[in-house]
Amino acid sequence: MINAKIYRSNEGLITAFILSGHAEFDEYGKDIVCAGASAVTFGAVNAVLSLTNIEPQIDQGGEGGYLKVEIPENLDASTSDKVQLLLEGMVVSLQTIEREYGQYISVTHH
């Protein structure tokens, strides 16, 4: 199962997220749950990098199955708003996958 953990500040802002595990929906290369979760998360991270000019701290597992992204603190309001909108879109997309394939992916907030 893929576990998507979304970490939020006391104000509700996304400060980090971790994806870990494997969906095991199908064999490697045919796993649509893994492909969907990967596309959503990497797309969001690439959008943050490209559109906001910030450098999140990114840690990837060597053989896949692990991605941790931490958002820098003390961003100006405009940049923070952009980052949050992109990441909230990622969460909505992950939750959409979870609704259809809940036995293979879990999205939790911490």
Q: Annotated catalytic residue: which of 34, 45, 94, 105? A: 34
Question: Is residue 22 annotated as part of the catalytic site, yes or no?
Answer: yes
Query: Do residues 86 and 51 make contact, with C-beta atoms less than 8 angstroms apart?
Result: yes
Question: Is residue 34 annotated as part of the catalytic site, yes or no?
Answer: yes
Q: Annotated catalytic residue: which of 7, 13, 21, 22? A: 22
Indicate the pLDDT class of residue 63, thresholds 50, 70 and 90: confident
3-21: pLDDT as tens digits: 999 999 999 999 999 999 9
- CA–chain centroid gap for 88, Å, is 9
Q: Which domain holds residue 11?
A: 2-109
- CA–chain centroid gap for 10, Å, is 19
Domain CATH number, residue 25:
3.30.70.1490
Average pLDDT over every residue of 22-31: 88
Number of domains in the chain: 1
